[in-house]
Structure 1
């Protein structure tokens, strides 16, 4: 409490690529597995659920830092592959983001979300700024 955003208590995440925020990890990639958690009603996944699973991850520049700093999204787009795959709110999904370019406190990244069978669910692009 007080370290992570409050909404994170609704998500289970398993890091498997890159580093955690503020660890000084210089990987251009970050990601892992994510799903909803807690008292979640099992139902078909909607675009709103997919949005939450993608937005759960911190900006991809944060692992490069060695101490906490503020950051902000400047632009963000997401595209949902249609038709939406048949997923349950209890299913794990894979997330991977790659930093395409970063300099002078700004970063551009592209991310994807897949189901456990490697079927693409969504694509995301983000420009962030970090105030370090």
Structure 2
């Protein structure tokens, strides 16, 4: 499973030193972006070579335990399902092996110029399908 290390900084927290709920979404986004890059498709390459971007369409998040200032976190990303114009990722945020948050994120494939739905190009779709890890 892909995992991105993330340190919690002051800017990530509320006045009590607890990670602000919306900041977790940024952590999840970074992990999905780095997952794509690790598999050979950075976002700039997708845009340049395929006129393709992915945008979050839906998200279900379960906040289990808080992360705090200076915590060292692991943010995971695993492709569950790749369809013709969308993909679903299972994600989690962990601290020392303890799950703090789980999320299921559906991203839509869009053309980079007009942000209209677009099929994932056949070659890329085949490569992504091979990376699926169904639940």
TM-score, normalising length from structure 1?
A: 0.58
Query: For the pair shown, which has the larger CA radius of gyration, 1 or 2?
Result: 2
Structure 2: tracts of 5 or more residues without a match: 48-52, 111-119, 121-135
Name the structure 1 match of 2:63.
Answer: 80
Residues in 2 aligned to 1:100 and 1:76: alpha-carbon distance in whole angstroms: 14
Q: CA deviation at 1:44?
A: 3.0
Name the structure 1 match of 2:104.
Answer: 125
Quick check: 1:32 aligned with 2:4?
yes
Q: CA deviation at 1:57?
A: 2.9
TM-score, normalising length from structure 2?
A: 0.57
Q: CA deviation at 1:47?
A: 4.6
Instruction: Indicate which of 56, 68, 93 corresponds to 2:46.
Output: 68
Residues in 2 aligned to 1:33 and 1:60: alpha-carbon distance in whole angstroms: 11
Number of aligned residue pairs: give it. 100
Instruction: Indicate which of 94, 101, 110 corresponds to 2:90.
Output: 110
